[in-house]
Amino acid sequence: MSKDAGRVAERSRTIDSVKVALLGCGVVGTQVVRLLREQSEELAARVGAPIELAGIAVRRPQRHPDVPAELLTTDAAGLVARPDVDVVVELMGGIEPARDLLLDALKNDRSVVSANKALLAEEGEALATAARESGADLYYEASVAGAIPLLRPIQQSLAGDRIRRVAGIVNGTTNFILSAMESTGAGYADALEEAGRLGYAEADPTADVDGYDAASKAAILASLAFHTRVTASDVHREGIRDVTATDIASAKALGCSVKLLAICEQVDGDAGSTVSARVYPAMIPKAHPLASVSGAFNAVFVEADAAGPLMFYGQGAGGPQTASAVLGDLVAAARNRVIGGRGPRDTAYAHLSVQPMGEVRTRYHVNVDVHDRAGVLAAVASVFAEHGVSIATVKQEGGREAESPDADDAGHGGDAGTDATLVVVTHEAPDAALRATVDALSGLDSVRGVASVLRVEGLGRPVHALGGAQ
Amino acid sequence: MSKDAGRVAERSRTIDSVKVALLGCGVVGTQVVRLLREQSEELAARVGAPIELAGIAVRRPQRHPDVPAELLTTDAAGLVARPDVDVVVELMGGIEPARDLLLDALKNDRSVVSANKALLAEEGEALATAARESGADLYYEASVAGAIPLLRPIQQSLAGDRIRRVAGIVNGTTNFILSAMESTGAGYADALEEAGRLGYAEADPTADVDGYDAASKAAILASLAFHTRVTASDVHREGIRDVTATDIASAKALGCSVKLLAICEQVDGDAGSTVSARVYPAMIPKAHPLASVSGAFNAVFVEADAAGPLMFYGQGAGGPQTASAVLGDLVAAARNRVIGGRGPRDTAYAHLSVQPMGEVRTRYHVNVDVHDRAGVLAAVASVFAEHGVSIATVKQEGGREAESPDADDAGHGGDAGTDATLVVVTHEAPDAALRATVDALSGLDSVRGVASVLRVEGLGRPVHALGGAQ
């Protein structure tokens, strides 16, 4: 401790301005440069000294005509190593070279501000260790939910509470696609194309639509909320590619919307606590506040023992929005340099193991296409019962009236009887039991196929816990 | 700076545990004591050293059987002055003796955590100056919106942005009363009585229903958001005592709810920027997210240039909820003692003057009881026009059919013609012009009286700015 404090004291004597190395200057970086320039006086008043850009590392300097040419460099490592740099702001994305650059920066007592969710989710521990050892700051508010202040509230405002659950919509691209599917009835492919045309989806949408982006964010949120270490590979991940227009219509019929949710929970069991972190599309009731979060907006619920339910809402992406979060961190890091101090430190003392997805208790909505003949419901129901899964509601659609448009589809048995669909919503059960139930259903003679499986969230605790929001 | 940093270094060498003096032990204090005990291990891990209660100052020790008797004292000043105290947590409320105690604490380099909105709104400058001069921390997250992390996001997460507007529901008692009036059709007095019976209103509800509580919070929010100094007396304040069941019904008819709003804005004008802070009941469209915040919940919108609109939602009062916010601050203050560092400092550099309420641009909903005879609408409309107030919509209720139940009331002129009500909603205009219009209406021959006047918010910018939330 005395070593740390001594270093703080020494450092703060020597700083008249805070020099910033910016790594990467794309959509967010350009906005950071603009806001630093436009707000230079306010920022200096808030920090206690001016913030100056020492340099900007980019791959192709000729592509940045709006940035002062003398600041541009292709030598990121050289920029980070410059002795006059106080804070490194990393907006490159990806694991390398960002990882090595930031570890070098932290080891040399440069504070780091990063918006790199993939890196933080993967190498959070190494970065936190490097920061702790040198006494430098490590901030990454912009890595999750864009402009929404979320990590600071979780890490600092709720530092005296026990967080139980963090759940929300943390990926704007998938939320845009699902909102479009719901409002227009479009299929996934058409909605994705529209998202791309409007700039809400990248040319390669994999990171978003397959849930990698949300999984990284879930890992970061779970790590901070539960004072443990969760990496992206610990997060159960399902994307939205397989969500069909029929799924959305089924959800609508039940008064639900389909959202890609990131859910982090601390689960207390007989053998101690574990942590569950998972990303999947799920139906939520339209009355749930998350159901009305549409387009590129993000919203996250945090539930803590004493605080109760909290919601944070805002824009989860975009250049100025993400730059706002980056600059908030930069002001904090710069202020610590000037006044003496330290940002929040890693508190991953809990060492929780990850609950296997099979043990996670969740609910399923299952559309089972069946041959509408005597005993089919009993046969289906007993498969659920055999696996210990309790059925909450079951509804038959089609049937005697043979409404099903694909009633004449080939290859499904060919027994007598018209076709119908059983719409089953289960109570909470371990995910493994639900999976096994669905697998077993496919093997029934009277079942033509399991048409769709979607999880259901927000029917139980979360909504009730909310109280105020209708 | 070097003096500060040196003090930080010196202080951090001597701390093995963080000793806390608790001033006041009511609903919130009891929860703070409980949570400190129940979470002692986690808190020690987060802080880097155990947090220990040095003493608890109360007025009547015999009333606190659940608290260790050896900690109780009636000598608050003596407790604060004890040399082993590191952090003073003030939950007494009111201006004195809290003010003197906290100034003494800060001057002697004790960090302060306070939930005292009245004190912060009134004496924020004196407290901030004392904290700055000694280098001690001053945190007060719990003073506004209970459990909702709001001050830390405004002060720290948005430190690199320009906040334009903070608006929301920050008083649970009035929100409970207005929600009850809306859902049951009850009048103000009945709803207040129910709130008292259920523990949502105090025996003397003045601070809540007359808007003093919300005005203190608005002063704190405006000061932090706009880096200036706003006191409670700078806040235009109207309570909910005069809101009638008819007002609520009128709002419903327009698709609106009535909410007590606290609104803080930075207004850029030709002669520079000013700040407006005001508290009043207003109609907001039911589609606005604030309209669905019911019961004792709070919700606050923050709009910043780069971040865009943000919403924070949660429980604004209650023992455990407020204690959660207190403990978050306590962990931060304790951690700074142990690791060396400093919480955010006062940045009231902007010195904005307060915009007079008469210049604030707002909208009115006015019910004008008139004699339903030829020319009455023209007469009323020309009064609006004379004052430069543009009418958005006007609707006549009653009239030829004489539906008004008080059509035979005495004392209103006695001219020929049945009675009717004109429901007028204006466009934005300076509040002084709207006030003058309402005054002038009362003087018209054809007007029996102005039955109700309510402001309308959220029809313009705020809702549009929201985008995602429907």
Nearest CB partner across the interface for A158, out of B45, B320, B328 = B328
Nearest-angstrom CA–CA distance, A263 and A164: 11
The C-alpha torsion from A10 through A12 and A18 to A20, rounded to 10°, is 40
Tokens at residue B451, please? 């039955």
B241 phi and psi angles, rounded to 5 deg = -55, -30
Q: Please list, in sequence order, all residues whose beta carbon lies within 8 angstroms of the beta carbon of residue B96, skipping any fewer than 6 positions away.
A: none
Residue A397 has a pLDDT of 85
3-state DSSP assignment of residue A359: helix
**Interface confidence (ipTM) of the complex:** 0.91
Handedness of CA B56, B61, B66, B68 (dihedral sign): positive
Nearest CB partner across the interface for A1, out of B31, B152, B338 = B338
Pick the residue of B161, B169, B198 with the most A CBs within 10 A to test the interface with A by mutation: B161
CA distance B95 to chain A (A): 25
Pick the residue of B12, B151, B165, B313 with the most A CBs within 10 A to test the interface with A by mutation: B313
- Name the one residue in this structure whose structure tokens are 């979320």: A150
Among B341, B325, B330, B343, smallest CA distance to B46 is for B330
Nearest CB partner across the interface for A294, out of B1, B349, B468 = B468
Residue A368 has a pLDDT of 94
pLDDT tens, N- to C-terminus, chain A (470 residues): 444 444 544 554 467 999 999 999 999 999 999 999 999 999 999 999 999 999 999 999 999 998 999 999 999 999 999 999 999 999 999 999 999 999 999 999 999 999 999 999 999 999 999 999 999 999 999 999 999 999 999 999 999 999 999 999 999 999 999 999 999 999 999 999 999 999 889 999 999 999 999 999 999 999 999 999 999 999 999 999 999 999 999 999 889 999 999 999 999 988 889 999 999 999 999 888 888 898 889 999 999 999 999 999 999 989 999 999 999 999 999 999 998 778 888 789 999 999 999 999 999 999 999 998 888 999 999 999 999 999 999 999 876 544 444 444 444 444 445 789 999 999 999 999 999 999 999 999 999 999 889 999 985 543 333 333 33
Instruction: Note whether A297 contacts B469, CB cutoff 8 Å.
Output: yes
CA distance A432 to chain B (A): 33
Among A457, A394, A450, A398, smallest CA distance to A256 is for A457
Residues of B in contact with A152 (CB under 8 A): 149, 152-153, 156-157
A286 phi and psi angles, rounded to 5 deg = -60, -25
Instruction: Note whether A328 contacts B160, CB cutoff 8 Å.
Output: yes
Which chain A residue has its CA at the smallest distance from B147's CA?
Answer: A307
Nearest CB partner across the interface for B314, out of A45, A307, A470 = A307
Pick the residue of A161, A268, A298 with the most B CBs within 10 A to test the interface with B by mutation: A161
- Burial class of residue B192 in the structure, from the number of CB atoms within 10 Å of its CB (0-12 exposed, 13-18 middle, 19+ buried): buried
Mean residue pLDDT across chain B:
90
B258 phi and psi angles, rounded to 5 deg = -100, 125
CA distance A1 to chain B (A): 6
Among B191, B144, B152, smallest CA distance to B170 is for B144
Residue B414 has a pLDDT of 43
Residues of A in contact with B152 (CB under 8 A): 149, 152-153, 156-157
The C-alpha torsion from B236 through B237 and B242 to B248, rounded to 10°, is 80
A38-58 tens-digit pLDDT:
999 999 999 999 999 999 999
Which chain A residue has its CA at the smallest distance from B339's CA?
Answer: A1
Q: Please list, in sequence order, all residues whose beta carbon lies within 8 angstroms of the beta carbon of residue A54, skipping any fewer than 6 positions away.
A: A19, A20, A21, A71, A79, A82, A84, A85
Residue B397 has a pLDDT of 85
**What is the residue extent of each domain of chain A?**
2-146+320-339, 151-315, 358-461
- Name the one residue in this structure whose structure tokens are 């004196």: B126
Residue B404 has a pLDDT of 44
CATH of B2-146+320-339, one of 3.40.47.10, 3.40.50.2000, 3.40.50.720, 3.90.1150.10: 3.40.50.720
Residue A361 has a pLDDT of 94
Pick the residue of A157, A175, A257, A312 with the most B CBs within 10 A to test the interface with B by mutation: A157
Nearest CB partner across the interface for B347, out of A45, A289, A341 = A45
Which residue intervals of B169-264 are DSSP H helices?
172-184, 188-197, 206-209, 212-226, 245-253
Instruction: Note whether B326 contacts A160, CB cutoff 8 Å.
Output: yes
Residues of B in contact with A48 (CB under 8 A): 1
Nearest-angstrom CA–CA distance, A334 and A42: 13
Nearest-angstrom CA–CA distance, B320 and B328: 12
Residues of A in contact with B307 (CB under 8 A): 147, 314-315, 320-321, 324-325
Residue A38 has a pLDDT of 97
Q: Please list, in sequence order, all residues whose beta carbon lies within 8 angstroms of the beta carbon of residue B355, skipping any fewer than 6 positions away.
A: B267, B274, B275, B276
Residue type for position B467: G
Instruction: Note whether B328 contacts A160, CB cutoff 8 Å.
Output: yes
A425-456 tens-digit pLDDT:
999 999 999 999 999 999 999 999 998 899 99
pLDDT below 70 — which residues of chain B? 1-14, 399-417, 459-470
Catalytic residue among B3, B217, B259, B395: B217
The separation between the first and the last C-alpha atoms of chain B, rounded to the nearest angstrom, is 49
Which chain A residue has its CA at the smallest distance from B313's CA?
Answer: A311
Catalytic residue among A3, A19, A107, A217: A217
Which chain B residue has its CA at the smallest distance from A312's CA?
Answer: B312
Nearest-angstrom CA–CA distance, B394 and B45: 63
Instruction: Note whether A468 contacts B296, CB cutoff 8 Å.
Output: yes
CA distance B245 to chain A (A): 22
Which chain B residue has its CA at the smallest distance from A320's CA?
Answer: B306
Spell out the long-range contacts of A398-407 with Cβ–Cβ below 8 A and sequence spacing 24 or more.
A398/A372, A399/A372, A400/A372, A402/A372, A404/A369
Residues of A in contact with B45 (CB under 8 A): 227, 347, 349
A117 is catalytic: no
Nearest CB partner across the interface for A314, out of B1, B159, B311 = B311
Helix (H) and strand (E) counts in chain A: 16, 18
Architecture of domain A358-461: 2-Layer Sandwich (3.30)
CA distance A289 to chain B (A): 9
Are A342 and A8 in contact by the 8 Å Cβ rule? The answer is yes
In terms of DSSP bridges, do strands A297-304 and A391-398 run parallel, antiparallel, or are they unpaired?
A: unpaired
Nearest-angstrom CA–CA distance, A317 and B69: 53
Residue A410 has a pLDDT of 42
Q: Which CATH class is domain A151-315?
A: alpha beta
Residues of B in contact with A31 (CB under 8 A): 306
Nearest CB partner across the interface for A338, out of B1, B158, B309 = B1
Domain B151-316 and domain B358-461, same fold? Reply is no
Residue A398 has a pLDDT of 79
Q: Which fold has domain B151-316?
A: Dihydrodipicolinate Reductase; domain 2 (3.30.360)
A53-69 tens-digit pLDDT:
999 999 999 999 989 99
CA distance B424 to chain A (A): 30
